[in-house]
Amino acid sequence: MPSRRELANAIRALSMDAVQKAKSGHPGAPMGMADIAEVLWNDFMRHNPANPKWADRDRFVLSNGHGSMLIYSLLHLTGYGIDIEDLKSFRQLHSKTPGHPEYGYAPGVETTTGPLGQGISNGVGMALAEKVLAGQFNKPGHEIVDHHTYVFLGDGCLMEGISHEACSLAGALGLGKLIALYDDNNISIDGEVRGHGDTPAWFLDDTPKRFEAYGWHVIPKVNGHDPEAVKAAIEKARAVTDKPSLICCQTIIGYGAPNKQGKEECHGAPLGDDEIALTREAIGWNHQPFHVPDEIYAGWDAKEAGARAESDWNERFDAYAAEYPAEAAELKRRMAGELPQNWAEQADAFIASVVEKGETIASRKASQNALNGFGPLLPEFLGGSADLAGSNLTIWKGCKGVGKNNASGNYVYYGVREFGMSAIMNGVALHGGFVPYGATFLMFSEYARNALRMAALMRIPSIFVYTHDSIGLGEDGPTHQPVEQIPTLRMIPNMHVWRPCDAVESAVSWKAAIERKDGPTCMIFSRQNLAHMDRTAAQVDAISRGGYVLRDCAGTPDAIIIATGSEVELAVKAAEAMSGKAIRVVSMPSTDVFDAQDQDYRESVLPRAVTARVAVEAAVTDGWWKYVGSSGAVVGINRFGESAPAGTLFKEFGFTVENVVDAVNGVL
């Protein structure tokens, strides 16, 4: 039977060989964390390589994602669908082993990591999902939701501000099944983080005290190359169930490389053929590149143990289902990501009621009304706000707060943590069982931007709610008035952005976001009241296509006005003021969704023959030129706002009937 060190050396060898073959990559972290990984995966991780999506598996997140060969080696050795040829294709086009772990490429990769700090934040979200799901479904004697989330992270993750946001909240929520293992190796790209010689220090945090202050259980100064010490630390962490745990593992980066271990030289570059030869000798790995002996594979193989673990859980779940059949069916539905059987019918009935009421209200209020309409249909809702619940209006009548001692709720008070909230939501979405939404002012989507990008990159259904959508915010001034945010959000690939013009469009946009399974959605709502627009049943149906004819004219239009959100009413009034002209008004609450429609539909809304077009939106104008063309015009705002009442600002910046009419006349 191979020793623990021999098993860990398989990770070291595969990692240095793959990086060398690719001529790029990061061998240092995998080699330094190999001993920790061996203990965790062979002694504690409960997973099944034959079923990477088993609902009650432990989750593993490599937050320091540059060390991707660590997880690829683990998945290969333990029996997942990653063969030796996949490792040889490390960092190559369309391989299962890209430079950083990417969700959806390799079985067993739970999230995309690379932007440091987001992996640990995703891990917080996964642990939160586990805690809430357990609170909602577990019964006395039936702990059918019972798994851990393990996160590897490094100095870089801890330097990023998002780690403070997410880990602070994890402590407040008492996420006892979250265990983070910190690779404390004193090295980042620029050298020794605590300084050396003439190089000053840049990371002197007392990390154990920092995490203790967050309310974490901390195990400091663990020898990361002593398997028994690592094992004892993980056992201690698992025994503490009322708070998350941080295990500080002191390691040597690039462990085993005689001339480069402990140095930044091995952080982000291949070791080189000569150093690899010396490393093989130093660690006693007398095998050719990418060759792993059968006895090493046998020591790592997790397929049999994984099958037993899942089989045991299936038996326990069957016993649960026999006693609680409704709850068991509901849990299966939610983990499968399926909406309730009666969803479509009831959702459409709610939208019909909104049409009938015809309310003139702020779209943020219409959003809350939609949550009250859809919320009772969706026990999988897990909402929240970054300390703006009273402004974002994200709390609906059925909300119950999630806390350390009340895990069965459905609403998270995220605090002023826009970035952390968004990354945590992504972790919740990745875990499964929930439809997560979280809110802040649109302006502060900037703080969260990289988490939004990661949601789009992973194609996961997080719902980001943004209110106070324009200069209509008013007196708070340009620091709080979004101008460029809507256009730039639309530029994120695979992101759907909705900016509804009234309560009906708000309800439809919520339905679309809830039903979307292949990517995230940004919901953009107003502070100020928006007038109800009369529509036919066909027009209501067309809202979900992203853009549609709201007000038409007889025959071929002389001009088309395109608008979103609060500016749709302005467009309609401008069309009415031009009674001598044939003016079509197009409401386009989602440009992304409209662009995805077939050519015939887009032509029916925006016929190419009509070149006189004006777009109206209280935002930067750049994105609208693709719709209006070189002969069209855009009424927008290409500067920052001012502090004044909303009505005053709209006049100041040209959002008036008169100015829109002038713009239309200018293109005729």
405-409: long-range contacts at Cβ-Cβ below 8 A with a sequence spacing of 24 or more? 405/174, 406/135, 407/131, 407/132, 407/134, 407/135, 407/136, 408/132, 408/135, 408/136, 409/132, 409/135
Q: Would you state the structure tokens that stand for residue 404, as one six-digit string?
A: 């350390």
**Mean of pLDDT values over 186-204:** 94
Q: Round to whole Å and give the CA distance between 420 and 448.
A: 8
What is the average per-residue pLDDT within 1-22?
Answer: 98
CA distance 424 to 111: 12
What's the pLDDT at 416? Answer: 98
Helix (H) or strand (E) holding 37: helix 28-43
State residue 427's pLDDT score: 98
Q: Counting Cβ atoms within 10 Å, is residue 529 exposed (0-12), middle (13-18) or buried (19+)? A: middle
Instruction: Please give the backbone phi and psi of residue 466, each rounded to the nearest 5 degrees, phi first.
Output: -130, 125
Catalytic positions are 418
User: Phi, psi at residue 522, to the nearest 5°?
Assistant: -105, 125
The model's pTM is: 0.98
How many Å apart are CA 145 and CA 331, to the nearest integer?
10
Both tokens assigned to 561: 């006005």
**pLDDT for the residue 617:** 98
Mean pLDDT (the chain, rounded): 98
Instruction: Output phi, psi for 316, to 5 deg.
Output: -65, -35
Task: State residue 598's pLDDT score.
Answer: 98
**644: exposed, middle or buried (Cβ count in 10 Å: 0-12, 13-18, 19+):** middle
- What's the 3-state SS for 375-413? HHHCCCEEEEECCCHHHHCCCCCCCCECECCECCCCEEE
Helix (H) or strand (E) holding 521: strand 521-524
Looking only at the bridges linking them, the beta strands covering 435-441 and 411-413 are unpaired
Whose CA is closest to 302, among 105, 75, 86, 62? 75
pLDDT of residue 363: 98
Region of residue 645 (left: phi > 0; alpha: psi -120 to 50; beta: else): beta
**What pLDDT score does 14 carry?**
98
Distance CA 145, CA 17 (A): 39
Alpha-carbon dihedral sign for residues 193, 195, 199, 202: positive
Cite the DSSP H helix spans in 463-614: 485-490, 503-515, 537-542, 567-577, 591-595, 599-605
Q: What is the pLDDT of residue 34?
A: 98
What is residue 418's predicted lDDT score, i.e. its pLDDT? 98
pLDDT at 202: 95
Give residue 329's identity as a one-letter amino acid code.
A
User: Crossing angle of helices 418-431/449-458, nearest 10°?
Assistant: 20
The model's confidence at residue 264, banded by pLDDT at 50, 70 and 90, is very high
Q: Residue type for 652, please?
A: E
Average pLDDT over residues 369-380: 98
Confidence band for 432, pLDDT divided at 50, 70 and 90: very high
Cα–Cα distance for residue pair 82/292, rounded to 1 Å: 14
Radius of gyration of the chain (CA): 28
Render pLDDT for 636-664 as a digit per residue (tens, 0 to 9).
999 999 999 999 999 999 999 999 999 99
> For the purposes of burial, counting CB atoms within 10 Å of the CB of 190, is it exposed (0-12), middle (13-18) or buried (19 or more)?
exposed
Dihedral sign for Cα atoms in the order 529, 531, 532, 536: negative
Tokens (6 digits) for 614? 């004006």
Beta bridge pairs of residue 633 = 614
Q: What is the mean pLDDT of residues 141-163?
A: 98
pLDDT of residue 222: 98
